[in-house]
Amino acid sequence: MAVEGGAKCVKYLLFFFNFIFWLCGLALIVLGILVHVSLHNTAILQGASGSPMVLIVVGVIIFFISFFGCCGAWKENQCMVVTFAIILSLIVITEIGAGIAGYIFRGKVNELLDQSFNTMIAGYNKTEEYRTTLDSIQKQLKCCGGNSSSDWVNFSADHISVPDSCCKNVTKNCGIGAMTKPTVIYLEGCQPILETRIKENILWIAVGALVIGFVQITGIVLACILSRAIRSGYEVM
C-alpha cells in the first residue's frame, strides 16, 4: 500500500506539473515574442533573432505536449509517459543550445552593433532601407549616430550636419550645421543604448529559461518514476 500510495502521489504530481509545463510553454512563447519584437523594432539586428525564434518554437511544442503528458499520467499509459519524458528531454537539450547561442551572442553584441552602424551610416544617403531604419532608431531612442553625433561627419559636404532625425524637435533641415549643438540635437550615440537593452533582454531570457528548465527536469524525473511504477505492475489510480 505504501508503494501504491507513493506511485499514486507521483501520478497526480506529474499531472500537476504538466499544468505548470503548459504555463511554461506560454511563458516561453511570450518571452520569445517580446524579444523578437524588440530586435525587429531595432531593425539593425533583425538578422540576430535566432534564439528568440527557438524559444517561441520550443514554447509552442511544450504548450501542446503538456496535454500529451496529462493524458499519459491520467490513463497510466507507460508508452505515453515514456514518450513524454523523451520529448521533454530533447526540449531541455534544445533550450540549453539556445542558451549557449544567446550567451555567445551577448558577447558579440558590441561588435555586431559597431559593424551594423558603420555600414548603415555609410549607406544612409544611398539606401532607403538604411535611411528609414536609422531615422526610426534615432527618433525612438533619442540618440544620434552609433557612438556619437560625430559619426555623421561625412553626412554632408560641410561635415557639421546630421540627419533631421537627430533633432530634439524634428523639423525640416533642423540638423544642418547642428552636429555639436546639444540644444538642437542629441549628442549621445545609439549603440550604447541598444547594447544595454539587448543585454537586458538576453538576461531575462536566461533567468526565464533556468526557471522553466528546473520545472522541466522535475517533470522528466516524475515521468520516469511513474513509468517504472506502471511497468512494475503497481495499481496507480
Q: What is the pLDDT of residues 155-204, one digit of tens each?
A: 999 999 999 999 999 999 999 999 999 999 999 999 998 888 877 777 77
Q: Please give the Cα distance from 121 to 187 (Å, whole number).
A: 16
Which grid cell is 203? 538576461
Instruction: Give the domain ranges of the chain.
Output: 2-111+198-231
Using alpha carbons only, what angle is made at residue 88 by residues 4 and 27, rounded to the nearest 5 degrees?
A: 110
* d(C-alpha 194, C-alpha 123), whole Å: 20
Q: Give the list of residues 6+ apart from residue 126 with CB closer than 8 angstroms, or none.
A: none
- Rg, the chain, Cα only: 26
14-64: per-residue pLDDT in tens?
Answer: 778 777 777 877 877 887 777 666 655 555 554 445 556 767 777 788 777
pTM above 0.85, yes or no: no
